[in-house]
Amino acid sequence: MPTYVLTDKCKGCMECVKICPSDIMHIDATQGRAYNIEPSMCWECYACVKSCPEAAIEVRGYADFAPLRHLVMPTRTTDRIDWKIRMRNGDLKEFSFPIRTTPWGSIRAPQETPEPTPDAVASELLAFEPDYLAVEALPTLPKPPRGG
């Protein structure tokens, strides 16, 4: 449909509503459960599928070109994602990939690093350069002679 929501699983927790980049996962007022309000603006990005704590959201390929009888479903944990793929002929495939090498929340904020001197804002260097370039100095060129 892109995405569709299974009635018996959805608890209306809003996680999909909060994350959908296209603003198309909304809560149905009478059922109190989520649904895709605008399938033609769904990118099949799976942001809602991955965010759903009940595994209530699945994807049926676009009606324009996708025959029925298939399923591509992920399970995402803190450090990996596992995929199960059911092909049209019933064959199953499974793949598993890492997603992050450090704990969530562990990134050092820029303001937690030593403060640069006020005059450094006039230089061409970005934060942590040239160290993080892993070369001796930021490359530059002789000022071009042309161009007014």
Partner 1 sequence: MSMVENPAAVPVRTVECDILIVGGGFAGCGAAFEARYWGRDLKIVVAEKAAIERSGAVAQGLSAINCYMGMRWNENQPEDFVRYVRNDLMGLSREDLVYDIGRHVDSTVHLFEEWGLPIFTDPETGRYVREGRWQVMIHGESYKPIIAEATRKAASEVHERIMVTHLLPDATDPKRVAGAVGVNVRDGSFYVFRAKAVIVCAAGASHIYRPRSAGEGSGRTWYPPWATGSAYALLIQMGAEMTQMENRLVVTRFKDGYGPVGAWFLLLKAVASNAAGESYESARLPELRERVGAYADAKPMPTCLRNHLMLQEILAGRGPILLHTERVLTTPEKEAIGWEDFLNMTIGQAVTWASQGIEPKSEPSELILSEPYVMGSHAVCAGAWASGPADVAPSEYHWGYNRMTTVPGLFGAGDTIGGSAHKFSSGSYAEGRLAGKAAVAFVRDHPDLPTVTAAQIESLRATVYAPLELGARRSIVTAGTVNPELLQPDHALTRLEKIMDEYGGGVSANYTTNRALLERGLHHLATLREDLPQLVARDLHQLQRAWELQHRVWTAEAVLRHTLFREETRWPGYYYRADFPHVDDERWKCFVNSVYDPATGNWRLFTRPYHPIV
Kindly tell me which of 31 and 113 has the beta carbon lying closer to partner 1: 113
Of 51-80, which residues contact partner 1 (CB under 8 A)?
51, 59, 61-72, 74, 76
- Near partner 1 in 104-143, by CB under 8 A: 104-107, 109-111, 113, 115-116, 120-122, 124, 126-130, 132-135, 138-141, 143
Q: Going along the chain, which residue ranges are E strands? A: 3-5, 25-27, 34-36, 57-59, 71-76, 80-86, 92-98
Binding map of partner 1 across residues 87-106, x = CB under 8 A, - = no contact = xxx-x-x-x-xxxxxxxxxx
Nearest-angstrom CA–CA distance, 7 and 105: 33
Which of 23, 31, 34, 56 contacts partner 1 by CB under 8 A?
Answer: 23
Two tokens, residue 86: 């059911």
When binding is defined by CB under 8 A, the residue of 4, 28, 45, 54 that contacts partner 1 is 45
Active site residue 43: yes
Strand, helix or coil at 18?
helix
With binding defined as CB under 8 A, does residue 29 bind partner 1?
no
Residues 34 and 103: their CA atoms lie apart, in Å, by 31
CB of 55 to partner 1, least distance (A): 16
Which of these is catalytic: 43, 62, 95, 128?
43
Residue 7 CB, shortest distance to partner 1, in Å, is 21
Strands (E), 1-122: 3-5, 25-27, 34-36, 57-59, 71-76, 80-86, 92-98
